[in-house]
Amino acid sequence: PVPLLSLRSLRLWFQQQLARVGFNLAFSGQFDEPTRTVLAAFQMKYRPARYDGMADAETAALLAILNAD
């Protein structure tokens, strides 16, 4: 079985991926207000149909594609 990421690991992943595309934010491991604001800004740029600051699968996929090495 594939181990599930902890919520903290998932939050850190989003924060690290946002930083890799140029957003400045702390790696707190929390979906705090600064993280939601940055996430909404990312969504506004890359998925303007919905920019609610929620970490969802579509946002994760966009981050993964943009940060693919």
Is residue 4 over pLDDT 70? no
CA atoms within 13 A on the CB side of 46: 18
CB contact at 8 A, 45 and 24? no
Of 53, 34, 57, 33, the C-alpha closest to 43 is: 53
Q: Is the pLDDT of residue 1 over 60?
A: no
Phi, psi of 42 (to 5 degrees): -60, -50
**Could you tell me where the DSSP H helices lie in 2-56?**
7-20, 33-46
pTM, 2 dp: 0.88
Tell me the pLDDT tens digit for each residue of 50-59: 999 999 999 9
